[in-house]
Structure 1
């Protein structure tokens, strides 16, 4: 009974990945909205969004069952926080990262200016440390088998770091690789296609494929978000961070409502045989 009560993570289906990409794309546009459009800067925005992540995580950890709104708000908050954490680590106050005519962005440090390779190396090292601790704990890696508080805490730690790493990868592909937003998105989509093909190879671990796919869907969301918001001169659609964020939030809430309705139907279907059995007794 305790295992079923503590199992609070969703099944990995096509709908899961669609919602993940929608959430990560919104995380990119919303993070840029606060940090750049509203000029709060990476430092203040990172503090605020990390606090939001902690708040949504507390709600998720205190839940006794899987609740789509709880789960996906944490995914969204890790995506937004990951966007500004990565930007703060990788960028600086140079004109390349500021709006035309701007000399600063918000209060506090403008960015550490580590660059994408150094930032990615730090994040990959941190992710490996989390997985090493996870492995040493003896707790399962498979999302369908995570049913303890410690396991879920490790899972969300890995999610936050992987979303931050994915942002760095997406920004590198969009800004520095020469591929541009569309080219970067096509490359990541191709890599995800390779992972999908490997899913049918018995020797390849599905758990390993899940984590690779989870990291790669973040740069897909990052490049898609940049493609929606950046000016046409840089290869984007120039829809703006506010308009894009509103549309994406509507899409994500619609998907969460669908997932919530489906989860309720599943619970009712599971309870009906128990109720019928009780009447027969």
Structure 2
């Protein structure tokens, strides 16, 4: 099978700087968009989670049934995962009353189990292996848990520790920079570093999203969730259109 044919089977993008920029925008939009539906529209965490979960499942099925990589479809699915991650995390930590620490531990366990089962059943969790239905299901389940975990971690860091949104954003940015340095100057598995970075972009987006729309008294800018979401969505769409993207290729 030549590389062109293989590329059509892998429906996830190659990891580039543009990928990470769009991912952070998507996670930030997931926070403001999820809060807009659950809080501003007053639908509550449970109903919002159910609605976003239906959307996420529909997008994943569309992604799986597709025969090629299409950037808009892929990032729409990512966005669906970030919004359901926001409301699910809020439902677990607030409505169920297990708190940010308990929610983070629960979600970290679920994420770890998903990655473990993926590795044991298919032999690799490398994104360049996402070329069949089972791998795609594991991929999107991992992403959903990572987005939900990231929301809980972001809220825990910014709120429970009283660090505030900007300081928390600095913490997660610093951790991401550390992963970049490890990628360049260590022999740690690039797959492990990818998933670590993938998880950490979510709490970064969560605290930035909260900084945009939370009240001034809580350290936020008190922007409208709707206007913030619209601005983030516009920026995300422009980057998807303008930045060249291609499907990931198998490396082995």
Q: What is aligned with 2:192?
A: 208
Residue of structure 2 aligned with 1:87, choices 90, 111, 117: 90
| Bigger Rg, structure 1 or 2 | 1
* 1:112 and 2:96 correspond: yes
Is 1:26 the equivalent of 2:29?
yes
Q: Identify the residue that residue 39 of structure 2 maps to in structure 1.
A: 36
Following superposition, the deviation at residue 214 of structure 1 comes to 0.5
On the 8 A contact 1:32/1:241 being kept in 2, the answer is yes
Show the 5 A alignment for 1:209-228. 209-228=193-212
Whole-angstrom CA distance in 2 between matches of 1:60 and 1:66:
9
Cα offset, 1:202, TM superposition: 3.8
Q: Check whether the contact 1:140–1:151 (CA below 8 A) recurs between aligned residues.
A: no
The structural deviation recorded for 1:18 is: 0.1
Pair 1:170-2:173 in alignment: no
Match in the other structure for 1:55:
58
1:157-206 deviation per Cα after TM superposition (whole angstroms, max 9, x unaligned): 00000000000001111211111000100000011111111002342111
Within a 5 Å distance, the mapping from 1:254-265 to structure 2 comes to 254-259=238-243, 262-263=244-245
Residue pair 2:48, 2:87 contacting (<8 A) in 1 also: yes
The structure 2 residue matched to 1:229, chosen from 213, 228, 231, is 213
- Deviation of 1:7 after TM superposition, in Å, equals 1.1
Query: 1:147 offset after TM fit, Å?
Result: 1.4
Per mean C-alpha deviation after superposition, the further-off stretch among 21-30 and 111-120 is: 111-120
Match of 1:191 among 175, 178, 181: 175
Quick one: distance in 2 between partners of 1:203 and 1:194? 14
* CA deviations over 1:57-76 (Å, ceiling 9, x no partner): 11111111110011101110
Gaps in structure 2 of 5+ consecutive residues: 248-252
- CA shift, 1:235, in A, is 0.7
Deviations along 1:221-278, one digit per CA (max 9) or x if unpaired, are: 000000000111111111121110111111111122224xx35xx79xxxxxxxxxxx
TM, length-normalised to structure 2:
0.93
CA contact (8 A) 1:120 1:165 kept: yes
Describe the SS at the equivalent of 1:163: helix
Matched residues in 2 for 1:247 and 1:200: separation?
A: 34
5+ residue gaps, structure 1, are 92-110, 268-281
Contact residue 29 and residue 226 of structure 1 kept, 8 A: yes
Instruction: Give the C-alpha shift of residue 143 in structure 1.
Output: 1.3
Let me know the Cα RMSD of the aligned residues.
1.4
Secondary structure at the aligned position of 2:11 is classed as: coil
Are the aligned partners of 2:122 and 2:135 in contact in 1 as well (CA < 8 Å)?
no
Q: Tell me which of the two structures has the higher relative contact order, counting C-alpha pairs closer than 8 angstroms and 6 or more residues apart.
A: 2
Q: Distance in 2 between matches of 1:231 and 1:242?
A: 15
| Selected match of 1:247 from 222, 231, 234 | 231
What's the secondary structure of 2:103's corresponding residue?
helix
Aligned length: 244
* 2:250 alignment counterpart: none
